[in-house]
Amino acid sequence: MPYFDTASSAPLHPVARQALLAALDEGWADPSRLYREGRRARLLLDAAREAAAEAVGCRPDELVFTPSGTRAVHDGIAGALAGRRRAGRHLVVSAVEHSSVLHAAAAHEADGGTLTEVPVDRTGRVALGAYAAALREAPDGVALACLQSANHEVGTLQPVAEAAEECAAAGVPLLVDAAQSLGWGPTEGNWSALTASAHKWGGPAGVGLLAVRKGVRFRTVPPTDERESGRSPGFENLPAIVAAAASLRAVRAEAAAEAERLRGLVDRIRARVPELVPDVEVVGDPERRLPHLVTFSCLYVDGEALLHELDRAEFSVSSGSSCTSSTLTPSHVLRAMGVLSEGNVRVSLPRGTAEAEVDRFLEVLPGVVAQVRERLGAPKPAQAAVAPDPDPVPEPEVALVVDSLGKRCPIPVIELAKVIGEVPVGGVVVVLSDDEAARLDIPAWCEMRGQTYEGERTADRGVAYRVRRRA
């Protein structure tokens, strides 16, 4: 069964498995002890740290192992903020950071700190000008800035090196979440701190990395102990750490060739999906992106139903659609980008993916989407787009109200699509909805279908979204 969700967790690399089994026999003792077994464990731990530091591009004494990538993010942000408390209490992050960064930012705000979320464009990339402005225009001193190296949902690469230059000019340390990219190569630029997670590159779960450059003001938030330079308390999971470092070295040795091969497969998906499936939006930067990841959204499709049907067809994929979330809110990444969220599919190919598996996915996908759309009563695929009349004959405004209160994605958009043809060109359809996803999906539908979105207003219940027919 093809597994296409390596962005969530990559399959265990064969080298990781071999190293893990060997370390279970050799690395079970306490590496802080001076007897023979302890010294043997210390040698394994030191070798793993040196291998990981070489891959990261830092000194071994700048890197510690943590119990997870999330723990590395939380400890890195908390320690940097605590170390620079005199400089200020403002934190700058991008709007598309991983939830672990945003959770740490929320905790910082709850503790009295301030926060700026820098917006992104429709490809998910941060504008350097806006990022630099956030550093300069903060209401109080900026203690820390955060920027992921690559987005976990759409694969867009962020301008980390350039952002690091802006941070250096402003005297602000930059923490980089490199979880998605570290297996493909080092993070460029003069960053101050870096985090990563082993299960993203094919190492075992339960191992994170936190690197903090010398000279960066950093104070570990207690309670602490003597382990990992006092920055990550608790007994080290040495077998997992050894496996993580060994697999990181192995995947980096394979990265160049595998990246070229997977990029070709992803290019095929990016090109073929819009040809095979009507009303699809491929999102993320088409060029400056991770080599193995592609995300697209399908109009008139329930994301959860789509994932279930693909699973029945033996494909494991992920989604940022609100329909697949217990919160019923769309992905914060897709929301920040302003792109369609309904029917969202993220495909992230593991190393070794065969061309035949991608070809079969492309064969299966159109039928699965059509089946889900038919089940939901979606309108038939649109014919060739009709250009709007550049100088239409003035019509009296006609307002048709669609009551979609209590209905979840993608039903409000489906009902809008069914009735838009009932008003004359220049007429208006008002959609009433209390689904948070409608705020994103109705404007996205208008852009895809050549209609005009005129904004929203609060209604007695929910929100009224106003759409004017242009075509």
Q: Which residue numbers are catalytic?
A: 323
DSSP 170-223: HT--EEEE-TTTTTT-PPPS--SEEEEEGGGTTS-SS-EEEEE-TT----PPSS
In 3D space, the residue among 209, 214, 170 whose CA is nearest the CA of residue 192 turns out to be 214
Q: Are 203 and 68 in contact (CB under 8 A)?
A: no
Q: How many residues does the chain have?
A: 471
384 by Cβ neighbours in 10 Å (0-12 / 13-18 / 19+) ranks as: exposed
In 3D space, the residue among 245, 243, 244, 221 whose CA is nearest the CA of residue 233 turns out to be 221
In 3D space, the residue among 337, 330, 335, 468 whose CA is nearest the CA of residue 410 turns out to be 330
For residues 292 and 403, what is the distance between their CA atoms, to the nearest angstrom?
41
Q: What are phi and psi of 279, to 5 degrees?
A: 60, 55
What's the token pair of residue 344?
Answer: 């969202």
Cβ-based neighbour number of residue 352 at 10 Å: 12
Q: What are phi and psi of 169, to 5 degrees?
A: -65, -30
Q: Which residue has the tokens 């976990």?
A: 152
What's the token pair of residue 138?
Answer: 């903060």
For residues 48 and 60, what is the distance between their CA atoms, to the nearest angstrom?
9
As a dihedral over the C-alpha atoms of residue 162, residue 164, residue 166, residue 167, rounded to 10 degrees, the angle is: 170
Q: What are phi and psi of 155, to 5 degrees?
A: 85, 0
For residues 264 and 257, what is the distance between their CA atoms, to the nearest angstrom?
11
* Amino acid in position 158: Q
In 3D space, the residue among 16, 33, 15, 28 whose CA is nearest the CA of residue 238 turns out to be 28
Q: Are 179 and 211 in contact (CB under 8 A)?
A: no
- The most distant pair of C-alpha atoms in the chain lies apart, rounded to whole Å, by 91
Q: How many helices (H) and strands (E) does the chain have?
A: 12, 14
Instruction: Quote the Cα angle for 29-34-35, to 5°.
Output: 65
